[in-house]
């Protein structure tokens, strides 16, 4: 498989009524787990809306292979999460592998979530760490 460019994967979720504290606890655990177990995942960032009803998770991968490695074990993580949140949609920027796309399409079909894919990059860069301020 040819080397792909960076991939940004965004997941939009609705926090189930009365489950916010559990979502916050789960988020802390998942961040630690992914940080330790998925070193190819460049970024894993979770954001909560002002009204605390919507959760957005942003993932960044260097390439399609890194996304494939991240998705391994994803079914187990998702099943536990879906007790606390409802999947609303995914956005993928970049070109994942055919296997990853099949997984994402199946997930979207199973949950009724929207899936947006914008595979063509016009360029850009990833900076692993911002330069120190002067």
In a domain, 85, yes or no: yes
Domain count, the chain: 1
CATH number of residue 43's parent domain = 3.30.70.100
pLDDT at 102 over 60: yes
In a domain, 82, yes or no: yes
Residue-wise pLDDT for 49-83, tens only, equals 999 999 999 999 999 999 999 999 877 777 778 88
pTM of this prediction? Answer: 0.88
In a domain, 11, yes or no: yes
In a domain, 92, yes or no: yes
In a domain, 68, yes or no: yes
Residue 79: per-residue pLDDT: 77
Dihedral (CA of 66, 68, 72, 78) sign: positive
In a domain, 70, yes or no: yes
Rounded to an integer, what distance in angstroms lies between the CA atom of residue 107 and that of residue 101?
A: 10
The range of the structural domain enclosing residue 75 comes to 7-118
In a domain, 71, yes or no: yes
Rounded to an integer, what distance in angstroms lies between the CA atom of residue 106 and that of residue 121?
A: 24
Contact 57, 11 (CB under 8 A): yes
Averaged over 41-55, what is the pLDDT?
A: 96
In a domain, 103, yes or no: yes
Q: What are phi and psi of 22, to 5 degrees?
A: -70, -35
pLDDT at 96 over 90: yes
Per-residue CA distances from 51 to 3, 42, 125 (Å): 40, 28, 33
């Amino acid at each position: 498989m040819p080397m792909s460019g960076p991939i940004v994967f965004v997941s939009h979720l609705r926090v189930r009524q009365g489950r916010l504290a559990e979502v916050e606890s789960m988020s802390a655990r998942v961040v630690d787990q992914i940080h330790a177990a998925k070193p190819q995942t460049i970024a894993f960032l979770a954001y909560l809306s002002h009204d605390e009803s919507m959760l957005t998770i942003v993932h960044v991968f260097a390439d399609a292979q890194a996304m494939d490695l991240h998705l391994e074990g994803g079914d187990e993580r998702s099943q536990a999460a879906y007790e606390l949140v409802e999947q609303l949609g995914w956005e993928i920027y970049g070109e994942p592998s055919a296997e990853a796309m099949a997984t994402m399409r199946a997930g979207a079909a199973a949950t009724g979530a929207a899936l947006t894919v914008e595979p063509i990059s016009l360029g850009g860069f990833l900076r692993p760490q911002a330069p120190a301020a002067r």
